[in-house]
Structure 1
Amino acid sequence: MYELTHHQAQSIVNRMMKDIPYNINIMDQTGIIIGSGNQERIGTLHHGAVKAIKQKKIVEINNDEAMVKKGINLPIELNGKIVGVVGISGEVQETRPFGNLVKSAVILLIDQSMILEKENLKNNLKQEFWSLIINSDTLYTKDLINQALTYNIHLTKPSQIIYVESPDEIAEDITTSLASFKMSKNSLCIVVQETDKMEIFEQQIRNQHPDAFISISNMNDTISDGLVQAKSALRVLRGVYFNEKTIFYSKCEFIADLSKLHRNDTKADRLAHLLEKNDELIQTLQVYLNCNLNANETAGRLMIHRNTLNYRLNKITKVTGKDPKNILELVELIFMLINRIK
């Protein structure tokens, strides 16, 4: 049988008393007050509610008594079971017209609360499942394989991961007919096993979130491997590329894997901070890389003079101690850009 909680009852009382000019009490299935406009009465036994529960009908009390206030008490039924009682304190003739209105509103609010609880339980189970399958130590047991089918995932088949990170909040149903899982308010993972439709899925995401960063893993036998690839590729995209919004792990595999090795490198982290507050130098270095170190093309894309570009490249050397014209030191600068992204 459904059980009302104090939090639910008090929330309902607070909402109803904004519109009803009388004190409202909500009692549980034993008659104990669990929600009230009079906080001192919470936790006490309401004798009018006990009568309403026993008699399974409305109980009207016309006079104040030692343990009971005058008013009307209506049993709350769900699926043929009494789950509580709602009471309105005041003169019976005045409170009676509000009785059924309040009772109906309370039942509606309880129904909404039950739906929300079911939805929260469903979401919690989904997140627990996701936490399992992104753990590299998780074995794909028969039970887990069967559970995955409820999310339209075939764990026995290879899959790709689309990782989406957006400046605005992302809805979990961003694409149709695909298994998607929230990583945070602004990030989402999508499991794709129909790779021939990847362009369609990517466009669906882009239509809703034009400014989102999207990274796409290789095909993998496990979802955990795909997630690692997609997340490392996303860091490369955000760190190295300028004005690019989509990246495939297959296009940056070498640098993405190397960047993972440097993630916990304190020296790399320290160097990364040297550039983090200078957007102009970061942009210059990103465009320089995207133009394959072609100075003329870089200056053209940045719409600056070649001398200005040389000035900025020299300033990068001065700030970081690494020369972007030296290929070995340029590699370190690339890791500086990537390690800025957490």
Structure 2
Amino acid sequence: MYISKIAAQAIVEEIGEEIHEHINMMDATGAIIASTNSARIGQMHEGARRIIQEGLPELYISGDMETETTRRGINLPLVVRGEILGVVGITGEKERVMGYGKIVRRMTEIMVTDSIQKDKKRYDQRVRYRFIEEWIEKSSAGFYSRNLIDRGRHLGIDIERPYRVMVLYFRDYHKLSDTLEGQKLLEEMEASIRHEMERCGFPYLREPPRQICLIPKCSDAQMKKTAEKLSGMIRQKYDRDVAAGFDSGQGSGEDIAQGCAEAFRAASHAVTWKEPFYYYDDLNIELFINEISEAAMLEYLDKLFGRDSGDRLGDYMHLIEQYFAYEGAVGKMAESLFMHKNTLQYKLKKLAEVTGKDIRRPSDAVVYYMALAFYQKLHMERTHFPDMAK
């Protein structure tokens, strides 16, 4: 066991604020690894070294014992699970600090024990994540080594079982990640998803900005039910939205890598088009749109609407979006847009004059559908997930 320097510094600062004295923490060699007096960090504390080497229950450094690296004050060993992990010291006059000694030591031991337990959990989680990453990578081969199977069982993961893949994204991820408060919220939401998955015994992998959830092979309806449960939990606890993508579920459930690729695409679509969830099998044009460069999409839009379309492009796209949303039903479109049908027909005619294509003609409609898909891809992903637009 050991005390991390980051945890040690947090502990001495917290205790120092409570008792208004300088606190030092030394490791098992006697070196000062944390202190409320930053100038002392890294120095060798002779008093701490004596406590460790001689097994002393405590040691007060008086004025005549002071050196350049050892100040007057009380020093006590930190014992966790029967092992001396280090020493805690309180700088000050004997009559002032002796009364704090045992209380501070006990407080420190409790906080150190808690920190070690948290560090172990984080370490165990990293080991689990690394294993799942390796499992996904090797799943496309169609078979697993006995060593990989046994390692999975040791971690409570049955890799021989068929799985489906669900990928989750928190909306506004990048906006939240720009602030400390937002980062804390993301960590809490991720932990909530992880705990729920682990409670159900399902493998989970955090891969920012997305989360990969592996669910024993099941129906589309069950996948949707699981996503709705997780999404509802996040909405209720944190008032945030989640987008989910599901794999096709058509294979044997053993090629996790393929399932991840499918779920990634479905989740990307859900984010871009503001859907709560999306199935890979429902993707059409979206299957290849990610392969088209941003430059090609921009060129397509410029060619169709003109390079000087400027702010008018957004108005055009809103009209096109409404047209496809209502399957070209002018009456319903006009009602949705709060305008007279004649006014709407006029706008559609003007759009045809700008582009040379009439959206009301089936042969031209596909041109507009592609334009709408490109526009949404470019603008919505830049807004919600900048990294996905690259």
Moved more, 200-209 or 132-141: 132-141
Question: Structure 1 CA distance, aligned partners of 2:154 and 2:359?
Answer: 51
Give the secondary-structure state (helix, strand or coil) at the position aligned to 1:298. Answer: helix
Question: Structure 1 CA distance, aligned partners of 2:102 and 2:33?
Answer: 20
Say how many residue pairs are matched: 336
TM-score of the superposed pair, with normalisation by structure 1? 0.81
Structure 1 residue aligned with 2:205: 181
Question: Structure 2 CA distance, aligned partners of 1:256 and 1:151?
Answer: 37
1:266-277 alignment, distance < 5 Å:
266-271=295-300
Structure 2 residue aligned with 1:224: 257
Structure 1 residue aligned with 2:144: 141
- How far is the alpha carbon of 1:215 from its aligned partner? 2.3
Moved more, 291-300 or 90-99: 291-300
Q: Is the 8 A contact 2:247 2:260 kept in 1?
A: yes
1:18-67: CA deviation from partner (whole Å, max 9, x where unpaired): 12232222222122222223333333332222222213311123334342
Question: Structure 2 CA distance, aligned partners of 1:153 and 1:334?
Answer: 43
Q: Which has the higher helix share?
A: 2
Question: Structure 2 CA distance, aligned partners of 1:321 and 1:97?
Answer: 88
Structure 1 residue aligned with 2:182: none
Question: Structure 2 CA distance, aligned partners of 1:192 and 1:87?
Answer: 51
Structure 1 residue aligned with 2:179: none
TM-score of the superposed pair, with normalisation by structure 2? 0.73
- How far is the alpha carbon of 1:295 from its aligned partner? 3.2
Give the secondary-structure state (helix, strand or coil) at the position aligned to 2:71. Answer: coil
| Unmatched runs of 5 consecutive residues or more in structure 1 | none
1:243-322 alignment, distance < 5 Å:
244-252=275-283, 254-262=284-292, 264=293, 266-271=295-300, 281-310=316-345, 313=348
Amino acid in structure 1 at the alignment position of 2:106: S
C-alpha distance 310-27 of structure 1, shift in aligned 2 (>3 A): same
From 365, 370, 376, the counterpart of 1:327: 365
C-alpha distance 13-303 of structure 1, shift in aligned 2 (>3 A): same
C-alpha distance 111-335 of structure 1, shift in aligned 2 (>3 A): same
C-alpha distance 207-19 of structure 1, shift in aligned 2 (>3 A): same
C-alpha distance 288-44 of structure 1, shift in aligned 2 (>3 A): same
| Unmatched runs of 5 consecutive residues or more in structure 2 | 173-185, 236-240, 382-388
Structure 2 residue aligned with 1:83: 85
Moved more, 158-167 or 294-303: 294-303
Question: Structure 1 CA distance, aligned partners of 2:25 and 2:231?
Answer: 49
Question: Structure 2 CA distance, aligned partners of 1:129 and 1:311?
Answer: 61
Q: Is the 8 A contact 2:140 2:258 kept in 1?
A: no
Question: Structure 1 CA distance, aligned partners of 2:93 and 2:246?
Answer: 67
Give the secondary-structure state (helix, strand or coil) at the position aligned to 1:97. Answer: coil
Q: Is the 8 A contact 1:152 1:179 kept in 2?
A: no
Question: Structure 1 CA distance, aligned partners of 2:93 and 2:105?
Answer: 17
Question: Structure 1 CA distance, aligned partners of 2:354 and 2:150?
Answer: 55
